[in-house]
Amino acid sequence: MSVRLSTFAWRNLWRNARRTLVLISVFTLGIFTMLLIQSFLQGWIKSTFETTYKNLSEPIQIHQPAYLDNPEVEHFFAFDQAITDFLDKADIQYTQRVRVGATMQSEYDSVSVMVVGINSRTEQGISFLSEAISQGEYPNSAPGLVIGEKLAKRLTTQINRRVVLMTQKNGGGLAEIGLPIIGLYKHPDPRVEESLVFMPLKPAAHWLNIGNGIHQIGIIPHSDNKAVIQSLSTQLQAALPELSVQTIWQRQPVLEATMELSDRMIWIWLGFVLLLMMLGMLNTLMMSLYERQQEFNLLYSLGIKPLRLRLLVSFEIIFIVLVSTALAISFMLGLVAWIGDGIELKQFAEGAAQFGMGTTLYLLIDIPKWTDVLVATLTTTMLFSLWPVWSATRHSRLQAR
């Protein structure tokens, strides 16, 4: 009987195709809006996370245990073959670095900086540097420095000019080295441009007298899923008990709190939008149902009971919602494909960097999140539709007509 009723409901929808298409358009727009907001906010969170780890703060980092509390030159560890073999077997990207505070001096001024010795080959694709070179060349094995444009301006220097780096070396004493500037980079955050100085790893280790030692290994797992990152961190810690393996959330607890708050705020925003959307849908649905009052009276006079009439209208709404959902998902997939790798918002880069936000606008397809949004939207839609359906088909109204 319900099959016959549903078939009748589907056919009944297209007796007035214009009205049905108006309802489908309204519902499609509402569901599409919910998916768009969810995808945008999730993409914004992902972009912010990627921006954070590209600024030399990878999802997982390995240090000598005392380094994080006291980042001095002597808190290094040997990057030996055992560590290399273990990391090569894992499904990860990694790079090793030397990091030490130093004083940089030009002919005109001096400033405190953070010198980062990098492996030129493995650093590419992990940090921002390979994509940020604006002048000159990327660091290679030959001694030379890559500094930020703002730092170069502050020191009144330029490419091919020599500057002097001074810091304390391992074992005590002053380590001093004069190197040419071989490249300049540009970064949205002026604080990064004015503080980070890059040079090849081997010259940096030789300058600091640490042999084959390094201060950190930055690791990017194959997935940015938090559970995957934490699981890999636990495995690495078990394999390297003499070192400190920490996730980005352990090193930056504020970031974890911010991302959790953002995730909750998404649902608050979605709830607010869903409420406004339901009011519009409810208004459109009530107008449609009350326009059909004569039709309902005719069905009632032919012997259909109010309960079965409500089931008939409910089946119609279900069909409209299902068609609208399919259309909304199709439009979202098309929009995601059109945007591709995201939209760069470089004109807002400096302002976004002040808050640690990403500058690439993504629309992220997260199937579990989309499922949650669709379930919430469809459930709310059906609940909101109960009252106008009951009101338009109640016994007293049918008798009155």
Q: Encode pLDDT of 255-308 as tens digits.
A: 777 777 777 777 787 788 778 777 777 777 777 777 766 766 776 676 667 677
Residue 161: its pLDDT value, please? 92
- Alpha-carbon distance of 274 to 282, in angstroms, equals 12
Regions in the chain scoring below 70 on pLDDT: 1-3, 292-293, 295-296, 299-300, 302-304, 306, 341-360, 392-401
Tokens 């400096």, residue?
A: 350
**What local confidence, expressed as pLDDT, does residue 146 receive?**
94
- C-beta separation of 46 from 364 below 8 A: yes
CA-to-CA dists, residue 353 to 55, 113, 196, 358, angstroms:
11, 19, 15, 7
Contacts of 3 (CB under 8 A, 6+ apart): none
Residue 396: the pLDDT is 53
The set of residues, in sequence order, having a beta carbon less than 8 Å from that of 282 and lying 6+ positions away, is 384, 385, 388
C-beta separation of 361 from 43 below 8 A: yes
pLDDT tens column, 188-242:
888 889 999 999 999 999 999 998 899 999 999 888 788 889 999 998 899 888 9
pLDDT for 124 equals 87
Q: Which pLDDT score, from 0 to 100, does residue 205 have?
A: 92
Q: Give the pLDDT score at 275.
A: 81
Name the residue with tokens 């609940």.
383
In terms of Cα–Cα distance, which of 257, 249, 242, 254 is closest to 227? 249
Buried b (16+ CB within 10 A) or exposed e, 23-57: bbebbbbbbbbbbbbbbebbbbbbbbbbbbbbbbe
Cβ(152)–Cβ(113) below 8 Å? no
Nearest Cα to 220, choosing from 49, 340, 341? 49
pLDDT for 401 equals 45
**Is 134:186 a contact under the CB 8 Å cutoff?**
yes
CA distances from 33 to 39, 47, 319, 382 (A): 10, 21, 20, 18
**Token pair for 237:** 């810690």
Distance CA 7, CA 332 (A): 29
Predicted model pTM? 0.72
Domain parsing of the chain, residue ranges:
2-53+256-400, 60-251
Structure tokens at 163: 């500057």
Backbone phi and psi for residue 158, each to the nearest 5 degrees, phi listed first: -160, 180
